């Protein structure tokens, strides 16, 4: 199933859920995990805006699966403990819009070949799952794990835990894209602080410049759907 297929299936579902939430629980925290996240988060936002209840601090695209994969693959490559490996992943949640910041992994040393292969594997890890299941399914257990992790972290922040930082796809002005996944400090009211992307390698800076136009196109697709 392509991202376009997912959009055609999920766009109206997400829009309907958003409309119901706008009436029933407008002040809730909304964690969007339905793909394509790069488009479904803007759909959810636009639907809440129509109802006059949008709060950008309370809407999150869950991109945690990208971080889970990045941590796993980098730990395997470097011989690290996966439980203490933390790879920032920015951008979006589809293919080449996913950008693991390998240059920011403490103590890691990668060859250029490692960087290219790891980046591609993190971006297209879902394809490995589909192939392993012989086309009969996609990522399910890992997606559930990722969703639970982000939800638990947000709940901890809502209960007062300090310095809870997670990568998530939210509205911000770090780039010209309306939504962008980056490190975010979470708090009782949701987004407490949008953190900067930080220093990038030449490879990462080039990749970032190329992915932003794709994020804009995919966000606009969701916005146009919600407003048609």
Burial of 14 by CB count in 10 Å (0-12 exposed, 13-18 middle, 19+ buried)?
buried
> pLDDT band at residue 127, thresholds of 50, 70 and 90?
confident
Neighbours of 61 (CB within 10 A): 30
pLDDT surpassing 70 at residue 82: yes
Residues 40-50: pLDDT tens digits? 999 999 999 99
Region for residue 148 given its phi and psi (left: phi exceeds 0; alpha: psi -120 to 50; beta: otherwise): alpha
What pLDDT does 130 receive?
86
What pLDDT does 142 receive?
92
| Rounded mean pLDDT, 63-67 | 98
For the whole model, what pTM was predicted? 0.96
pLDDT surpassing 90 at residue 58: yes
Q: Which residues contact 138 (CB under 8 A, 6 or more apart)?
A: 1, 126, 129, 130
What pLDDT does 1 receive?
66
Catalytic residue numbers? 93
């Amino acid at each position: 199933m392509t991202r376009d297929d997912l959009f055609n299936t999920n766009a109206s579902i997400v829009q309907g859920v958003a409309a119901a939430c706008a009436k029933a629980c407008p002040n809730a925290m909304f964690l969007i995990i339905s793909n394509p996240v790069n488009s479904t988060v803007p759909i959810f936002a636009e639907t809440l805006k129509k109802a006059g209840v949008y709060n950008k601090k309370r809407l999150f695209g869950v991109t945690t699966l990208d971080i889970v994969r990045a941590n796993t693959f980098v730990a395997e490559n470097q011989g690290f403990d996966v439980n203490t490996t933390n790879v920032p992943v920015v951008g979006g949640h589809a293919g080449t819009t996913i950008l693991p910041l390998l240059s920011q992994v403490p103590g890691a040393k990668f060859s250029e070949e490692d960087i290219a292969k790891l980046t591609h594997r993190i971006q297209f890890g879902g394809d490995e799952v589909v192939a392993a299941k012989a086309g009969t399914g996609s990522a399910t257990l890992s997606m559930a794990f990722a969703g639970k992790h982000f939800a638990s972290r947000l709940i901890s922040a809502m209960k007062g835990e300090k310095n809870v930082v997670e990568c998530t796809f939210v509205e911000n002005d770090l780039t010209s894209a309306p939504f962008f996944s980056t490190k975010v400090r979470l708090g009782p009211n949701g987004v407490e602080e949008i953190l900067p992307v930080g220093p990038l390698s030449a490879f990462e800076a080039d990749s970032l410049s190329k992915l932003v136009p794709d994020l804009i196109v995919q966000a606009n697709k969701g916005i146009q759907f919600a407003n048609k």
